[in-house]
Structure 1
C-alpha cells in the first residue's frame, strides 16, 4: 500500500477476506471501469466513504483513474468539513494601514 493510506483508517476497516474480494473484482473487471482503456490494478469502492464491500459496491480501476477519483473525493470531503484553504487572504497595502 502506498503513502495514500497514511492517516487513514480505511485499511483497518477492510474485511478479513479482502485479498480474495479484491482478486475477484479485478478478475471480473480486467479493464478500468472509469477510462475503459488501461488494465485494472485497484479495487475501488464506488461510493466515497462507504464500507460497502459487496461486489456491487466495488469496481476495478487503473492507478491513474483511482488517484484522480480519490483526490476528487478527498477535496470534496475537505470542502464539506470547511477546512481552511492554503491561500492567505490578501493583505492590505502597508501604506494604507492606519
Structure 2
C-alpha cells in the first residue's frame, strides 16, 4: 500500500503495533474472511490488519487479519473512492 500523500498512518492510535499483533493472534495469523469459492477460511498466513469498515474505528471488532495481497485488493478501490469524494468537493 502506498502511504504517499495519505494521512492514514498519522491517524493510527499510538498503540497500533499492540492492537495489530493482538488481531493477528486472535485470527490465528490467517485471513479471517471466508473464501467465496470454497466456503473455507484462507489458510495462507496473514501479514496485515485491515479495517473492515473504512475509517478510523480502530476497535478490534472492526479489524481483521488479511494477506497483503487481499489487503491491497480491498484497500485500492476504497482509496480510489475516497480520492474521488475529495476531488469532487
Distance 2:68 2:4 in 1: 17
Question: Secondary structure of the residue that 2:81 maps to in structure 1?
Answer: helix
Larger Rg: 1
TM-score between both structures, scaled by the size of structure 1: 0.71
The structure with higher relative contact order (CA 8 Å, sep 6+) is 2
Question: Secondary structure of the residue that 1:6 maps to in structure 2?
Answer: coil
Q: CA RMSD in A?
A: 1.8
Extract unaligned runs of 5+ from structure 2: 36-40
Q: Cα distance, 1:82 vs. partner?
A: 5.6
**Among 48, 52, 55, the residue aligned to 1:46:** 52
Count the aligned residue pairs.
80
Extract unaligned runs of 5+ from structure 1: 84-98
